Amino acid sequence: MNGARRARIPSPLPEVGQVVPLGRDDSKHLCGVLRLGPGAALELFDGTGFVVSAEIVSADKRGATARVNGPVDDRRPPHALHLGLAVLKGGAMDDALRGAVEAGVTAFHPILADRSVATGDRGDRWQRIVEGAAAQCMRADVPSIHAPAPLDEVLSRLADLPARWVATFEGSRPDPVGDDTALLVGPEGGWTDAEVAQSLAAGWRPASLGPWVLRAATAAVVGPALVVPGGPTAGGRS
């Protein structure tokens, strides 16, 4: 988490006037790192897209509590963005997840591709990375992460989505459609010809992410940014 004054609490969010305990990590960050005390304003979010304004009531060694001041605000993404991402090696996978969260991905589908070097399920670590990235970029929702699966299983799982793209060296630049969308990004060595053919036969459209050869972790960020109408908000946070 960065310097943002926010904390995650379980859904459903409490009503105005209610006092709720904050989690240990959030309490430590807000009151220990940021040195906030009673009366300090903050935002509470539930990880599904809803937030409320609040203020700290108490802060001590046992943790912090906050009182809800404002009504629930709905900040859910208007459309789902599914990323089928071939499992990458350690650091590359971490970078891909962080960047894709910032680009607007709402659900991750790790794929055991033919050329995937890493094939393990690091679900707990990936979940922590996604949660941290969502907090960092001020999202009110936390993307879901499925267990790693073969390509055919992911193709079947996402078959009913209205817009489905597979990142390839050929094809046209994907047009944002303002609807639920899925994108497949391959491993470091790229998709095999058989995997591309399998995707196209299942009704997916080839998508070019630009004229340059991108690292897989970079493609996992550039691709989602291209298919989200308007793209991510420019600018950074300290």
Render the burial of 87-111: b for 16+ CB within 10 Å, e for the rest: bbeeebbbbbbbbbbbbbbbbbbbb
Q: How confident is the model at residue 237 (pLDDT cuts 50, 70, 90)?
A: very low
pLDDT exceeds 50 at position 236: no
More confident residue, 238 or 189: 189
pLDDT exceeds 90 at position 4: no
| Separation CA 160–CA 164 (nearest Å) | 9
| Separation CA 66–CA 92 (nearest Å) | 37
At 201, list the tokens: 């036969």
Judgement on whether residues 52 and 142 belong to the same structural domain of the protein: no
Judgement on whether residues 90 and 187 belong to the same structural domain of the protein: yes
Q: Give the mean pLDDT of 209-230.
A: 89
pLDDT at 230: 59
Judgement on whether residues 66 and 92 belong to the same structural domain of the protein: no
At 188, list the tokens: 């470091």
The answer to whether residue 32 sits within a structural domain is yes
Judgement on whether residues 124 and 10 belong to the same structural domain of the protein: no
Domain endpoint, select from 19, 47, 74: 74
What single DSSP character describes residue 47? B
User: Widest CA span of the chain, in angstroms?
Assistant: 60
pLDDT exceeds 70 at position 156: yes
| Separation CA 201–CA 9 (nearest Å) | 43
Predicted confidence (pLDDT) per residue in 176-211, tens digit: 777 899 999 999 999 999 999 999 999 999 999 988
Q: Give the mean pLDDT of 214-236.
A: 78
Domain range enclosing 203: 81-227
Judgement on whether residues 138 and 113 belong to the same structural domain of the protein: yes
Amino acid in position 15? E
Judgement on whether residues 163 and 57 belong to the same structural domain of the protein: no
The answer to whether 27 and 8 have CB atoms below 8 angstroms apart is no
Judgement on whether residues 88 and 69 belong to the same structural domain of the protein: no
**Domain harbouring 36, CATH code:** 2.40.240.20
The continuous run of DSSP H or E covering 144 comes out as strand 144-145
Judgement on whether residues 127 and 89 belong to the same structural domain of the protein: yes
Judgement on whether residues 112 and 67 belong to the same structural domain of the protein: no
Judgement on whether residues 14 and 49 belong to the same structural domain of the protein: yes
The answer to whether residue 232 sits within a structural domain is no
Domain endpoint, select from 74, 101, 123: 74
Burial of 194 per CB tally in 10 Å (0-12, 13-18, 19+)? exposed
Find where tokens 């960020």 sit: 221
H helix and E strand count, the chain: 6, 12
The answer to whether 219 and 209 have CB atoms below 8 angstroms apart is yes
**Domain harbouring 138, CATH code:** 3.40.1280.10
Least confident of 10-14, 158-162, 228-232: 228-232
Predicted confidence (pLDDT) per residue in 34-83, tens digit: 899 999 999 999 999 999 999 999 998 789 999 999 999 999 888 999 99
The answer to whether residue 213 sits within a structural domain is yes
Q: How far is CA 51 from CA 19, 71, 95, 116, in A?
A: 15, 8, 27, 38
Judgement on whether residues 88 and 46 belong to the same structural domain of the protein: no
The answer to whether residue 128 sits within a structural domain is yes
Predicted confidence (pLDDT) per residue in 117-138, tens digit: 877 678 899 999 999 899 888 8
The answer to whether residue 203 sits within a structural domain is yes
Domain count, the chain: 2
Judgement on whether residues 96 and 200 belong to the same structural domain of the protein: yes
Q: How far apart are the first and last CA of the chain?
A: 11
pLDDT at 238: 31
The answer to whether residue 233 sits within a structural domain is no
The model's pTM: 0.86
Q: How far is CA 30 from CA 18, 42, 93, 147, 164, in A?
A: 19, 9, 29, 33, 41
The answer to whether residue 190 sits within a structural domain is yes
Q: How confident is the model at residue 231 (pLDDT cuts 50, 70, 90)?
A: low
The answer to whether residue 236 sits within a structural domain is no
Domain endpoint, select from 43, 74, 105: 74
- The 3-state secondary structure of 87-111, one letter per residue: CCCHHHHHHHHHHHHHHCCCEEEEE
